[in-house]
């Protein structure tokens, strides 16, 4: 089953708030419901929210009562604004929304009836979803070459099938290496505060039969320093033109610890995650989420923080390019200097 799929004129999502306790499907019938599902992290992970938002536009097209292309375009642009506002850091979301609008209104609108345009919105959303699966498999094929039989790797957040339409980014690389017969052991960062590692990555690794142990985020440095982990893998929510990587909060500290111990650091992401409009990671907008995600934690059945405690909750941080050994894309493995190699891999200049 895909994480994000279209059936009976509605968008179906695996409810990631319920896992690993139960596998439930949420059905969205309006674009506003899709926006809410993204905001509440019912669906999460950069490529997954991109595909979900694209299908959100398909729902907006069905909802629209417009009788001409201009009216449909105005309705879809309003829906696009709502969808894009939900989560600001992962560029895949804006990328997918813009791609749908461009494909329908810039390349098609002259020749098509308004009903055909509605269908074109859905067709483009479906293409984005299908391509994501293919892209992830290609990345996995490239990235698996970086893993050796017997490696123990530290993995941050959830980058698996659940974070994408299917297969995953960094976890897809681990899965491919495992399927190739390499013995890979995964130390799963639990990933405070939403615990995507302990809940979702561990659940996926159980399905794939890949050996793993959960560690708290603050244990990673110890395992790297003592040589019990040799490599670090994570995804990306946005990569600036110079190779700075925005990813789940905690990635920066993990990369620092790896760098200090000479362990390679690999970010695995499709080229749709690269934002060439931003020169460096300091320009990437960082989502701040509700304090309660940090304060809700319990110990011995009691809330840990005293009444009245306040918290900070940036959902992402930026790892400078100098700490990244390589970025794995669907077109191959990219190494420093990233300001040159990323442009080449995205096909922006002739080789």
* Range in contact with ligand MRU (rule: CB under 6 A) among 126-134, 140-148, 233-241, 326-334: 233-241
104 belongs to the binding site for ligand MRU (CB under 6 A): no
Q: Which is nearer to ligand MRU, 105 or 167 (CB)?
A: 167
Q: Which one, 101 or 328, has the nearer CB to ligand MRU?
A: 328
CA atoms of 41 and 129, how far apart (whole Å)? 18
Among 164, 242, 325, 329, binds ligand MRU (CB under 6 A): 164
- Judge whether 236 and 269 are in contact, CB under 8 Å: yes
Applying CB under 6 A, among 2, 31, 44, 238 the residue interacting with ligand MRU is 44
Residues 6+ apart with CB under 8 A from 183: 149, 150, 211
Shortest Cβ 319–ligand MRU spacing (Å) = 12
Please tell me which residue in 151, 166, 189, 237 is annotated as part of the active site.
Answer: 237
**Residue whose structure tokens are 């094929």:** 141
Closest by CA to 284, choosing from 335, 250, 310, 318, is 318
75 in active site: no
The yes or no reply on residue 91 touching ligand MRU (CB under 6 A) is no
The nearest distance, CB 172 to ligand MRU, in angstroms, is 9
C-beta closer to ligand MRU: residue 138 or 248: 248
Nearest distance from C-beta of residue 71 to ligand MRU, angstroms: 34
**Residue whose structure tokens are 């495992």:** 178
Measured from each CB, the residue nearest to ligand MRU is: 235
In whole angstroms, give the CA distance from residue 200 to residue 190. Answer: 9
248 near ligand MRU, judged by CB under 6 A: yes
List 303's β-bridge partners, or say none.
298
Q: Output DSSP code: residue 306.
A: P
Number of residues that bind ligand MRU (CB under 6 A): 18
Among 86, 230, 242, 247, binds ligand MRU (CB under 6 A): 247
* Nearer to ligand MRU among residue 59 and residue 236 (C-beta): 236
How far apart, in whole angstroms, are the C-alpha atoms of residue 332 and residue 250?
Answer: 26
For residues 120 and 159, which CB has a smaller minimum distance to ligand MRU in the complex?
159
Of 116 and 287, nearer to ligand MRU (C-beta) is: 287
Shortest distance in whole angstroms from residue 277 CB to ligand MRU: 19
Report the C-alpha gap between 323 and 319 in whole angstroms: 7
What's the CA gap between 164 and 136, in Å, rounded? Answer: 8
Residue 277 DSSP code: T
Task: Identify which range of 43-51, 66-74, 108-116, 216-224 contacts ligand MRU by CB under 6 A.
Answer: 43-51
φ, ψ dihedrals at 25, nearest 5°: -110, 135
**Residues contacting 293, CB < 8 A, separation 6+:** 193, 194, 313
Q: Is residue 53 a contact residue for ligand MRU (CB under 6 A)? A: no
269: helix, strand or coil: coil
Spatial strand order of the sheet with 238-240 comes to 274-275, 238-240, 245-248, 316-319
Cβ atoms 270, 136 nearer than 8 A: yes
Contacts of 182 (CB under 8 A, 6+ apart): 144, 147, 148, 149, 150, 151
Among 53, 163, 210, 321, binds ligand MRU (CB under 6 A): 163
Work out whether 345 is an interface residue with ligand MRU (CB under 6 A): no
Q: Does 196 bind ligand MRU (CB under 6 A)?
A: yes
Of residues 72 and 160, the one with the C-beta less far from ligand MRU: 160
Find the part of the chain contacting ligand MRU (CB under 6 A) among 18-26, 72-80, 158-166, 295-303.
158-166
- Residues forming contacts to ligand MRU in the complex (CB under 6 A) are 44-47, 90, 157, 159, 163-164, 169, 196, 234-237, 247-248, 315
Q: Which residues are catalytic?
A: 237
């Amino acid at each position: 089953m895909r994480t994000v799929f279209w059936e009976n004129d509605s968008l179906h999502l695996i409810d990631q708030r319920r896992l690993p306790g139960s596998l439930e499907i949420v059905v969205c019938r309006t674009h506003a419901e899709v926006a809410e599902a993204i905001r509440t992290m019912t669906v999460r992970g950069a490529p997954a929210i991109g595909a979900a938002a694209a299908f959100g536009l398909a729902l907006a097209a069905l909802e629209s009562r417009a009788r001409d292309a201009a009216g449909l375009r105005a309705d879809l642009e309003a829906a696009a604004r709502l969808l894009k506002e939900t989560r600001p850091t992962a560029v895949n979301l804006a990328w997918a929304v813009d791609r749908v609008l461009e494909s329908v209104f810039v390349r098609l609108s002259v020749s098509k009836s308004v009903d055909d345009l509605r269908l074109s919105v859905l067709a483009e959303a479906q293409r984005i979803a299908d391509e994501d699966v293919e892209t992830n498999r290609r990345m996995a094929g490239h990235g698996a070459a970086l893993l050796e039989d017997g490696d123990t790797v530290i993995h941050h957040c959830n980058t698996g099938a659940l974070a994408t339409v299917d297969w995953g980014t960094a976890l897809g690389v681990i899965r491919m290496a495992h399927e190739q017969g390499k013995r890979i052991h995964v130390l799963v960062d639990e990933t405070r505060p939403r615990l995507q590692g302990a809940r979702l990555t561990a659940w996926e690794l159980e399905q794939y039969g890949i050996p793993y142990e959960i560690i708290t985020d603050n244990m990673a440095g110890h395992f790297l320093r003592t040589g019990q982990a040799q490599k670090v893998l994570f995804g990306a929510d946005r990569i600036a033109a110079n190779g700075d990587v925005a990813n789940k909060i905690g990635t920066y500290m993990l990369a620092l610890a790896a760098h200090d111990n000479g362990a390679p650091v690999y970010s695995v992401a499709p080229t749709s995650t690269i934002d060439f409009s931003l020169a460096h990671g300091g320009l990437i907008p960082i989502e701040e989420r509700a304090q309660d995600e940090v304060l809700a934690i319990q110990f011995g059945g009691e809330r840990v923080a005293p009444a009245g405690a306040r918290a900070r909750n940036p959902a992402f941080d930026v790892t400078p390019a100098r700490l990244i050994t390589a970025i794995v894309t669907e077109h191959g493995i990219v190494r420093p200097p990233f300001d040159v190699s990323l442009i080449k891999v995205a096909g922006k200049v002739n080789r």
